[in-house]
């Protein structure tokens, strides 16, 4: 049975585990020491970016032909997981670089890939993703942003909301309606917008519950001229491309959720082994052990779901849509539960900033919301089941 490629992909290889060791060392020594101040000061984790760029872990998914590491989907998930274990905000550097650039990888020609993936791989630029709008979140096809043809160019007007790493990223994949009279869902096209484009501006940073080190801002487009060669794929295929992208990148959000949960469990275990009540460490009490057992069991189930979905992402299996949604949904719910339980295990100490579990609990919440709420994930899965 070990010769079956499905089982080989299900199991991490020696290379995957070597990579885990390398990124874990970087995360623990160069990212973790700054995680609390990044959260408290609501600042971008520059130390993490520098460490990740220096080690080529900032965008490990970029193919080797464009100067990238060429990491497979599972390896990319491991990078995100290990960074999220110490700092969720920092894990959005590799995660969102993949999200923003995945439409180019899936739908772009070699020219646009070479133009934008090469500087991404070098660490000279970051990539963000502009799909959601104020009134077009789960219902993406109702977006109002428009792109109107002007000769060989396109003129872009509108706005996008909840854009991760906005203002820091140099490049943005932006979805816009290019045929207002066209069939809903088949009238949207994808473009690359550059930070320096005239008429392209940003809103103020959102004041958020968690992931405070990753700026979330609105994008505004006021007659932004986009050269025609910056359209990703054929006209009218943008929404299909956007949804294909999410099939792949929802898996990375599952990996982020697993990493946050693992960090919270690790810290809680260390704490209960040291904390004494009634003359002994509270880890010796059965009630505490049962909580830890449930946390570890659910975490491992989530991790296995994410890894299986990552293998399907690498193979581009036909059922990736279901598994990507399932992995993201389950891992996000598990991360919220485990981080909440970690706070509970620390008692009053878990509720203050002296310990990282309250930050992890706040950070975990977004994994149930972005890249499609977990209610939408259940809708995706349900529709596929009855299709």
Q: Which CATH number is associated with domain 128-236?
A: 2.40.110.10
Q: Do 377 and 366 form a contact (C-beta atoms < 8 A)?
A: no
**Strand bridging mode 216-227 / 276-277:** unpaired
Spatial separation of the C-alpha atoms in residues 83 and 88, rounded to whole Å: 7
State yes or no: pLDDT of 270 exceeds 60.
yes
| pLDDT, tens only, 195-228 | 999 999 999 999 999 999 999 999 999 999 999 9
Set 81, 133, 358, 371: catalytic member: 371
> pTM of this prediction?
0.96
Query: How large is the average pLDDT for residues 110-130?
Result: 98
Spatial separation of the C-alpha atoms in residues 323 and 312, rounded to whole Å: 8
Spatial separation of the C-alpha atoms in residues 123 and 148, rounded to whole Å: 32
What are the sequence ranges of the domains in the chain?
5-125, 128-236, 240-386
State yes or no: pLDDT of 303 exceeds 50.
yes
Query: How large is the average pLDDT for residues 348-365?
Result: 98
Q: Do 117 and 68 form a contact (C-beta atoms < 8 A)?
A: yes
| pLDDT, tens only, 46-84 | 999 999 999 999 999 999 999 999 999 999 999 999 999
Q: What class does CATH assign to 240-386? A: mainly alpha
How is residue 280 annotated by DSSP? E
State yes or no: pLDDT of 327 exceeds 80.
yes
| pLDDT, tens only, 154-194 | 999 999 999 999 999 999 999 999 999 999 989 999 999 99
**What are the C-alpha distances in Å from 370 to residues 204, 364, 381?**
19, 11, 17
Q: What class does CATH assign to 5-125? A: mainly alpha
State yes or no: pLDDT of 9 exceeds 90.
no
What's the confidence (pLDDT) of residue 3? 45
Q: Is 371 a catalytic residue?
A: yes
CB-based contacts of 363: which residues, under 8 Å, 6+ apart? Answer: 88, 89, 210, 211, 260, 339
What's the confidence (pLDDT) of residue 10? 64
């Amino acid at each position: 049975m070990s010769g079956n490629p499905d089982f080989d992909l299900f199991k991490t290889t020696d290379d995957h585990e070597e990579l885990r060791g390398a990124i874990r060392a970087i995360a623990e020594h160069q990212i973790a020491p700054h995680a609390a101040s990044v959260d408290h000061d609501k600042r971008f984790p520059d130390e993490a970016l520098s460490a990740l760029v220096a080690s080529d872990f900032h965008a490990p998914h970029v193919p080797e032909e464009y100067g990238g590491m060429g990491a497979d989907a599972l390896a990319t998930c491991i990078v995100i997981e290990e960074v999220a274990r110490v700092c969720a905000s920092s894990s959005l550097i590799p995660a969102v670089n993949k999200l923003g650039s995945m439409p180019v990888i899936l739908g772009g020609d070699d020219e646009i890939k070479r133009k934008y993936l090469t500087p991404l791989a070098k660490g000279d630029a970051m990539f963000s993703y502009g799909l959601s709008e104020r009134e077009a979140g789960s219902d993406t096809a109702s977006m109002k942003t428009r792109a109107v043809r002007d000769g060989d160019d396109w003129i872009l007007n509108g706005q996008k909301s909840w854009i991760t790493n906005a203002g820091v990223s140099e490049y943005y994949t932006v979805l816009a309606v290019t045929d207002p009279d066209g069939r809903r869902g088949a009238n949207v096209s994808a473009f690359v917008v550059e930070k320096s484009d005239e008429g392209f501006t940003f809103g103020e940073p959102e004041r958020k519950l968690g992931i405070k080190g990753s700026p979330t801002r609105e994008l505004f487009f006021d007659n932004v001229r986009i050269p025609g060669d910056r359209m990703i794929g054929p006209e009218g295929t943008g929404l299909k491309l956007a949804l294909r992208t999410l099939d792949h990148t929802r898996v990375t959000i599952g990996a982020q959720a697993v990493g946050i949960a693992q960090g919270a469990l690790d810290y809680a275990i260390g704490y209960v082994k040291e904390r004494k009540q009634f003359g002994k460490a509270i880890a010796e009490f059965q009630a505490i052990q049962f909580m830890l057992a449930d946390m570890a069991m659910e975490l491992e189930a989530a991790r296995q779901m994410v890894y299986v979905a990552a293998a399907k992402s690498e193979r581009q299996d036909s059922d990736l849509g279901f598994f990507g949604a399932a992995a993201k949904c389950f891992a996000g719910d598990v991360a919220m539960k485990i981080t909440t339980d970690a706070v509970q295990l620390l008692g009053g100490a878990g509720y203050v900033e002296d310990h990282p579990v309250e930050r992890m609990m706040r950070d975990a919440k977004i994994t149930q919301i972005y890249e499609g709420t977990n209610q939408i994930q259940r809708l995706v899965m349900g529709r596929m089941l009855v299709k």
